[in-house]
Amino acid sequence: MEEKLLEVKDLSVAFNSYLGVAEVLDRISYSVDENQWLGIAGESGCGKTVSAFSLLKLLPEAAMIRNGEILFKGESILDKSEREMRKLRGGEISIVFQEPQSALNPSKRVGENIVESLRLHQGIRGEEAKRRAIQMLDLVKIPQPRVRFSQFPHELSGGMQQRVCIAIALACHPSLLIADEFTTSLDVTTQQEILKLVVDLQRQSTMSVLFITHDLALISECCDELIIMYAGQIMERGKVDRVFRNPSHPYTRLLLNAIPSISRKDEKLNSIDGSVPGLVNPPKGCRFHTRCKQKIPGRCDVVFPRETAIDETHRAWCHLLYT
């Protein structure tokens, strides 16, 4: 059996807070193959970013991994020391954050931000590092890369700053790129340009991409598979086209129905009634039952549903599928 690039098994994460212990992730499991785009989608607060930060062991001090396993190329992430993780972060696993202004060191020139990554992870210094950095700026389609190399981040537009972040993330040829809402802060035109750039660069390599977003329309443009999360639990997962064609969880159907459409331009925008529950003393069973109009009393609010196979690649977790 071929080894997965990444495997997350029964991962549960909790945060200590002044209100109590928040159960942020509840036994989530998924895997990423080589050369695959996997999208993780859901409303704000569903645990998407926490799941990504768990892969890099970048959780805050208040976080506790209660249960589970994370394997990268067959090795346990959770067993690695901080020294081993520093080598892994930015090397084998890279991340592009939502806010490029926060990700770039404002006191260093653009080129120095890239050179630092090359020095730390590949031991490349001097003129060779500069040459590689300029090459990366050119690769991400930044005009006049030699000029930009010597500029400070604040001298660039938001779109170009994000291209620099992508250049840093790809400089060491990672096996896995985590794209955490990396187009959200950009205007629509720049958003499409950045997404197309990463799609094109991924196709030129065997790199896998874990794309975290609340935007299902973007996922439909680039991802092979999709995971739908709600309040720290996985509701549904499968090939993107199959989930879109046959959404099997009530939450997935509501999310897809809320996507604006030009064909429905005169209709009222759809929304999901209610709000995501607090995760200190979260609802029992399926956490979506507090907003679900199809809930089964005594089942949905008592026990989390078992996995149901819709087809060979499509899975959902809902009591309605086996009643």
User: Quick one: pLDDT at residue 79?
Assistant: 94
CATH number of the domain at 240, please.
3.40.50.300
User: Quick one: pLDDT at residue 1?
Assistant: 47
Instruction: Judge whether 247 lies within some domain.
Output: yes
pLDDT single digits (tens) 202-214? 988 889 999 999 8
Which of 157, 151, 156 lies closest to 134, judged by CA?
151
Q: Is the confidence at residue 2, as pLDDT, over 80?
A: no
Tally of domains in the chain? 2
Please identify, among 120, 155, 173, the residue that sits at the C-terminal boundary of a domain: 173
User: Quick one: pLDDT at residue 266?
Assistant: 62
Q: Are residues 209 and 317 part of one domain? A: yes
Q: Are residues 301 and 212 part of one domain? A: yes
Structural domain including 124 reads 93-173
Q: Are residues 116 and 102 part of one domain? A: yes
| pTM of the full structure | 0.92
Q: Are residues 145 and 262 part of one domain? A: no
Q: Are residues 318 and 297 part of one domain? A: yes
Please identify, among 173, 207, 224, the residue that sits at the C-terminal boundary of a domain: 173
Q: Are residues 79 and 120 part of one domain? A: no
**Rounded CA gap, 246 and 228, in Å?**
14
Is there a contact between 114 and 171 (Cβ–Cβ < 8 Å)? yes
User: Quick one: pLDDT at residue 44?
Assistant: 86
**What is the rounded average pLDDT of the residues 236-245?**
96
- Percentage, residues of the chain above pLDDT 70: 97
Please identify, among 145, 173, 201, the residue that sits at the C-terminal boundary of a domain: 173
Tokens 């309605």 -> residue: 320
Instruction: Judge whether 1 lies within some domain.
Output: no
Give counts: helices (H), strands (E), the chain. 11, 12
Q: Are residues 203 and 78 part of one domain? A: yes
Which of 19, 32, 36, 66 lies closest to 232, judged by CA?
66
